[in-house]
Chain A
Amino acid sequence: MAEKYDLNEREVWDGNFAASQALRQAEVDVVAAYPITPSTPIVENYGSYVANGYVDGEFVMVESEHAAMSGCVGASAAGGRVATATSSQGFALMAEVLYQASGMRLPIVLNVVNRALASPLNVSGDHSDMYLGRDSGWIQMDAFNAQEAYDLTLCAFKIAENHSVRLPVMMHQDGFTTSHTAQNVYPLADEVASEFIGKIVPVDDMLDFTRPVTYGAQTESDWHFEHKAKQHKALMDSRPVIDEVYAEFEKITGRKYKRVESYLMEDADVAIVALGTTVETARVAAQQLREEEGIKAGVVAIRCFRPFPFDQVREALENVKCISILDRSSPAGAMGAFFNEVSAALYTTSSRPLVTNFIYGLGGRDFSIDEAKRIFKEQQAHADAGYITTDIQQFSGLRGPNLGFFQTKRG
C-alpha cells in the first residue's frame, strides 16, 4: 500500500509537477524513462514517488528514449498501466517505437513537453516535436496550462485504456511556458482520481498464460493495409469516448473540456486558431480588442489534435469572415501543417472563409498579446477587403525583411 501524499485543495504547481502528480494518482505500474529538458521533472518526480513509497510502481532507467518507449511497449503488452515523458530530440529518437505502440494498440500515456527540434540546438518550446507525432497513430491532447496538464493526464489513462479505444495517448504541454511556470492547480483527492480512472483491465496481455499471444507480427501486402485501416478507424472512433471522459471529468470537477475549445466565437468576424499557451494569449487579445476597438475577435483552440476534429473545427469557424491559423513549427517548404488541416476542413463548408497562415514562436520566441491583436486586425482588414491583402503565409515575430509566400487568387 502506498504512503499517503498530503495535498492541499489548492497547490502551486508547474506543468511538470502537475503531470507527475497525475501519474502518481493514476497508480502507474511502470515508467521507463530517459531524461530530457524540459520534460525531465515529470519522470524524475515519479521516480522519487516510487523511492519514497508514494506509489507502488516500477521506475526503469534505460539508455535512450528509444529504449524508454520500448520498455513501455513491453510493460504495456504485459498488461500494466504505463507512462513516460519526453521532449524534442528524445521524442524524435522515440519515433520508431511510437508507431509500434499504436500499431499494437497499447494504451501508453506519453507526456510530451513540447520543445523545438535541432538544429540549431534549442531547449525552448515550439510544436515541432508535437507535429512529428501527428501521423504516429496516437491520440494527441494539448494542455494550455498546468491545471489542464494535470486534468488531461488523468483523462488520458481513462481514454487510452477504454476497451473500445486501446490506443496510446500523448499529453502535450508547452516547454517552459507551461512546464516550468508555477500556477494555481486544484488537484483531486487521491481516492477521487483513482476512482475516476479506475483499474486497468488488460487486453491480450502477455502475462495471461491461459492465452499466449504473439505481439509484433510481420504483415506484408496481404494484411498490412487492413491492420492500418482498422487502427485508423479505432482512432476515429475514439472521438465519442474522449467526449464521454471529458463529460465525466466535468461531473466531478466542474472543469469542462472539449475537443475544440471556442472562445468568443458566437458572433466572431475574425478568428485565430492556435495550439498551446498561445491560445491563452490570443484569448486575452480577443477580449481586449472587442473592448478597445469593437473588433469581433474570437479564438478556436484544438484540444484534441489527433483524432483531428475535422467536423467540429468546421462548425466552429464556418461563420467567420477571416481566420488566421498559427503554426508553431517550421513548415520546411510547405504551408503550415496545422493551416493545411484546418483549411481542408473549411474547404468543405459553403462559406469558405478567408484563411491565412502565420509561422510564429519557433524555438521559444515570445508571442505577445499585442502581436495577437495585430494579427486579428490584419484579418479584419482582409475581411473588409473581401480577399487576402497580404501573402497567405507570413512570419510573426521574425527579425529581418518581410518574409511571406503565396498570394490569393480570390478577390
Chain B
Amino acid sequence: MQDLNLLAQDNRGQSQLENSSGLVGWDDITQGTILTSFEGDATEIVNQKSEERMYSNFNSYTATVASWRIEKPVFNRDICIDCQNCWVWCPDTSIMSRDKQMLGIDYDHCKGCGVCMEVCPTNPKSLLMFGENTPLEDALSAWPEKKKKEK
C-alpha cells in the first residue's frame, strides 16, 4: 500500500501547473528566467530525504501533472520482490522507494506512461495499468492469477 504518511509530510505536488491566477508582473520576476530549486542554503541537500528538503515553488517537485494522466499504474505489494527495476526505469522519478523497499507511486508526477509495468519482472506483474478513475480496491481485486508456463 502507498505510504500516505510520506506524502502528507512534504510539499510535493501542491500546485497545479496550469494554474495561472495571481502571477506577478515583469518587475517581480527573476533575472534571466533563473529558477532556484530550493529555499535557503542547499549545501546539505544531498544528505536529505526528499520530504525533508525545502523545495522552492519553482521546483517541479511542488507542481503536479496528475491531470495529464489517462491511465495510472497500480502497485501490488503482495507480489512485488523489491527488485527496483521500475525505480530505475521510471522517466519521471515517480516510483517511491526507501532503503530499496518499494513504497508506491508518486501520483503527483506520474504521467501514466506504463514503463514501470513493462519492466516489472514478476509473474503476475506487480504493477498494472488501470483507468485513472478505477478505485484501488477494484484494481487489486481484478489482479490476474499467476500465468502457468506453457509446455
Contacts and interface: CB of A to CB of B under 8 A. Distances in A.
Given A209-B43, A226-B26, A214 B20 contact: no
Interface string A322-362: 00000000000000000000000000000000000000000
Contacts of B58: 214
A217 B33 CA distance: 6
Given A211-B41, A211-B42, A212-B42, A227 B36 contact: no
B47 to A, nearest CB: 13
B133 interface: no
A135 to B, nearest CB: 18
Interface string B32-60: 11111110011101000000000000100
A230 B26 contact: yes
Interface stretch (A101-109, A181-189, A312-320, A377-385): A101-109
A227 B35 CA distance: 12
A204 B31 contact: yes
B23 interface: yes
A215 interface: yes
A233 interface: yes
B62 to A, nearest CB: 13
12 contacts: A104-B33, A166-B32, A203-B31, A204-B31, A212-B37, A212-B45, A213-B37, A223-B23, A223-B29, A226-B26, A231-B32, A233-B26
A234 B31 CA distance: 9
Nearest to A230: B26
B42 A214 contact: no
Given A211-B36, A213-B36, A214-B34, A226 B42 contact: no
A214 B31 contact: no
Given A204-B34, A210-B41, A213-B34, 12 more contacts: A104-B33, A105-B31, A204-B32, A212-B36, A214-B34, A215-B32, A216-B33, A217-B33, A222-B20, A227-B26, A227-B29, A234-B31
A402 interface: no
Contacts of B26: 225-227, 229-230, 233
Interface string B97-116: 00000000000000000000
Interface residues of A, number: 27
Contacts of B31: 105, 166, 203-204, 230, 234
Interface string A66-104: 000000000000000000000000000000000000011
Contacts of B37: 212-214
A112 B23 CA distance: 39
Contacts of A223: 23, 29, 33
B23 A104 contact: no
A227 B41 CA distance: 26
A213 B58 CA distance: 10
A215 B35 CA distance: 7
Interface of B: 20, 23-27, 29, 31-38, 41-43, 45, 58
A119 interface: no
B27 A215 contact: no
A212 B36 CA distance: 6
A140 B27 CA distance: 24
A219 B42 CA distance: 25
Contacts of A225: 26
B2 to A, nearest CB: 29
A318 to B, nearest CB: 32
User: What are the 9 A-B residue pairs with the smallest beta carbon separation, nearest first?
Assistant: A105-B32, A226-B26, A214-B35, A229-B26, A212-B37, A204-B34, A104-B32, A222-B20, A230-B26
Interface in A201-249: 203-204, 209-217, 219, 222-223, 225-227, 229-231, 233-234
Contact of A212 (B24, B29, B38): B38
Contacts of A217: 33, 35
B29 A213 contact: no
Contacts of A227: 26, 29, 33
Contacts of A211: 36, 38, 41-42
A233 B35 CA distance: 20
Contacts of A229: 26
A211 B35 CA distance: 10
A237 to B, nearest CB: 12
A105 B24 CA distance: 20
A106 B33 CA distance: 11
Contacts of A166: 31-32
A97 to B, nearest CB: 15
Nearest to B34: A204
A230 B27 CA distance: 7
Contacts of B34: 104-105, 204, 213-215
B20 A226 contact: no
Nearest to B35: A214
B32 A210 contact: no
B21 to A, nearest CB: 10
Interface string A278-318: 00000000000000000000000000000000000000000
Contacts of A104: 32-34
